[in-house]
Structure 1
Amino acid sequence: MPLPDKPQKIFDRDAEWRELVAFACDGRPEARLGVVSGRLRQGKTYLLEALTGTLGGFYFGAQQGTQAELLSHLADELARYTNASSAPHWHGWEDAAADLLALGDQRPTPIVLDEFPDLVRQSPSLPSILHSAYRRRDGGRPGQARLLLSGSSLPLMHRLFGAASPLHELSDLHLTVGPLGYRQAARFWGIDDPVLALLVHAVVGGTPVYRRDYVGDDAPTGREDFDGWVCRSVLNPGKPLFREAYHLLREEIDHKDRALCHSTLAAVATGCSTQGQVADCLGAPLTDTARCLGLLREHGLLHSEPDAFRPSLIRLRIAEPLLAFEHAVVRPHRSALAQQDPVAVWKHARPDLDSLVARSHFAQICRDWALRFADGPDIFGTQPRSVAHGSVADPAQPGGTDVAAEVVVRGRGDALNGSLLSVGLARWDEVMDLDHLERVRSLLGILAGRGEDTTRTRPACYSGAGFSPALRAAEAQGRVVLVDLDRLYGRT
Structure 2
Amino acid sequence: MSSSDATALPARPDRIFDRTDEWTDLVGFARDPRPGATLALVSGQRRQGKTFLLEAVSQATGGFYFDGQAAAEAESLRRLAERLAAHTGAARPPHWGRWDDAVEALLALGDERPAPVIVDDFPELVGHSPALPSVLHCAFVRMHEQRPHNRTRLILSGASPAVIRRLFAGSSSLHRLASLELAVRPFGFRKAARFWGIRSPRLAVQVHAVVGGTPAYRGDLVRDDAPAGPDDFDAWVCRTVLNPRVPLFWEARHLLEQEGDYADRALSHSVLVAIAGGRSTPGGIADRLGASLHDISHVLAVMRNHGLLHGEADAFRPGLTRYRIAEPLLAFEHAVAWPHRAALEQEDAAAVWRRIRPDFDASVAAPHFAQLCRDWATRYAAWDTFGGEAATAVRGTVPDPEGNGRLDAEVVVRGTADGRPGVLLSVGVACWNEVMDAPHLARLRRILALLAASGEDTGQTVPACYGGVGFGPELRAAEAKGEVLLIGIDRLYHGE
Q: Could you tell me the TM-score, scaled by structure 1's length?
A: 0.96
Q: Deviations over 1:171-190 (max 9, x none)?
A: 12111111111111111110
Q: Which residue does the alignment assign to 2:128?
A: 122
* Amino acid in structure 1 at the alignment position of 2:219: R
Q: Which residue does the alignment assign to 1:439?
A: 443
Q: Which residue does the alignment assign to 2:452?
A: 448
- SS of match in other structure, 2:463: strand
Q: Which residue does the alignment assign to 2:95?
A: 89
Q: Which residue does the alignment assign to 1:62?
A: 68
Q: Which residue does the alignment assign to 1:46?
A: 52
Whole-Å separation in 2 of the counterparts to 1:304 and 1:158: 20
Whole-Å separation in 1 of the counterparts to 2:367 and 2:448: 22
- SS of match in other structure, 2:288: helix
Whole-Å separation in 2 of the counterparts to 1:295 and 1:21: 34
Matched, 1:35 2:58: no
Q: Deviations over 1:348-390 (max 9, x none)?
A: 111110011111000000000001001x232011210111101
Matched, 1:405 2:405: no
Whole-Å separation in 2 of the counterparts to 1:475 and 1:18: 43
Percent identity at matched positions?
57
- From 452, 473, 476, the equivalent of 2:477 is 473
Q: Deviations over 1:368-414 (max 9, x none)?
A: 0001001x23201121011110111123333xx2111000000149x
Q: Deviations over 1:147-181 (max 9, x none)?
A: 01101155432312459734212112111111111
Matched, 1:490 2:491: no
Q: Which residue does the alignment assign to 1:307?
A: 314
- From 131, 145, 149, the equivalent of 2:152 is 145
Whole-Å separation in 2 of the counterparts to 1:172 and 1:160: 17
Distance 1:207 1:470, change over 3 A: same
- SS of match in other structure, 1:168: helix
Instruction: State whether residues 39 and 154 of structure 1, in contact with CA within 8 Å, keep that contact through their aligned partners in structure 2.
Output: no
- SS of match in other structure, 2:388: coil
* Amino acid in structure 1 at the alignment position of 2:20: D
Q: Deviations over 1:220-241 (max 9, x none)?
A: 1011111111111111111100
Matched, 1:5 2:21: no
Q: Could you tell me the TM-score, scaled by structure 2's length?
A: 0.95
Instruction: State whether residues 165 and 175 of structure 2, in contact with CA within 8 Å, keep that contact through their aligned partners in structure 1.
Output: no
Q: Deviations over 1:333-360 (max 9, x none)?
A: 1111121111111111111100111110
Q: Which residue does the alignment assign to 1:373?
A: 380
| Larger displacement relative to structure 2 (341-350 or 468-477) | 468-477
Whole-Å separation in 1 of the counterparts to 2:72 and 2:279: 43
Gapped regions of structure 1 (runs ≥ 5)? none
Gapped regions of structure 2 (runs ≥ 5)? none
Whole-Å separation in 2 of the counterparts to 1:483 and 1:275: 32
| Larger displacement relative to structure 2 (162-171 or 435-444) | 162-171
* Amino acid in structure 1 at the alignment position of 2:55: E
Cα RMSD between the aligned structures? 1.6
Q: Which residue does the alignment assign to 2:260?
A: 253
Instruction: State whether residues 153 and 252 of structure 1, in contact with CA within 8 Å, keep that contact through their aligned partners in structure 2.
Output: no
Question: 1:277-356 residue pairs with structure 2 within 5 A?
Answer: 277-356=284-363
Question: 1:236-275 residue pairs with structure 2 within 5 A?
Answer: 236-254=243-261, 256-275=263-282
1:6 positional shift: 1.3
Whole-Å separation in 2 of the counterparts to 1:4 and 1:175: 19
Distance 1:96 1:164, change over 3 A: closer
Q: Which residue does the alignment assign to 1:72?
A: 78
Instruction: State whether residues 385 and 410 of structure 1, in contact with CA within 8 Å, keep that contact through their aligned partners in structure 2.
Output: yes
Whole-Å separation in 1 of the counterparts to 2:483 and 2:168: 49
Structure 1 segments of 4+ aligned residues over 3 angstroms from their partners: 161-166
1:284 positional shift: 1.1
Instruction: State whether residues 416 and 422 of structure 2, in contact with CA within 8 Å, keep that contact through their aligned partners in structure 1.
Output: yes
Instruction: State whether residues 202 and 325 of structure 1, in contact with CA within 8 Å, keep that contact through their aligned partners in structure 2.
Output: yes
Whole-Å separation in 2 of the counterparts to 1:435 and 1:408: 19
Instruction: State whether residues 160 and 167 of structure 1, in contact with CA within 8 Å, keep that contact through their aligned partners in structure 2.
Output: no
Instruction: State whether residues 159 and 165 of structure 1, in contact with CA within 8 Å, keep that contact through their aligned partners in structure 2.
Output: no
- SS of match in other structure, 1:19: helix
Instruction: State whether residues 134 and 170 of structure 2, in contact with CA within 8 Å, keep that contact through their aligned partners in structure 1.
Output: no
